[in-house]
Amino acid sequence: MTSIHPNKFLEALDQQELKDSIIIDVRELHEWEYYHLKEAQLIPMQQIPHRLGELPEDRDIYLVCAHGVRSYRVAEYLLENGFDRVINVDGGMAAVAMLRGFQYD
């Protein structure tokens, strides 16, 4: 299992190093609506098995959730299903938000 520290993830994102990658947010819609990365695509965890065909096998797939637990499980699932370029963002959006300074209502 490959993972990335949220600092390194945000640094790579800010430096446009992830433009050839895909970022999947596996949280639920109500969590996404609260805050999310504009570069991410929402595919809730429960939808992943039904949407495998939408995921590229030839690009890095970064996975993020609220705290890194669901995305870790999705990463395991993707690895078991033939995806080998899967990276889990440690700490999830909680860590990203703390570092990025997202404002909450």
As annotated, the active-site residues are 65
* Cβ–Cβ < 8 Å for 64, 89: yes
Query: Per 3-state DSSP, what percentage of the chain is helix, strand, and coil (rounded to 5)?
Result: 45, 15, 40
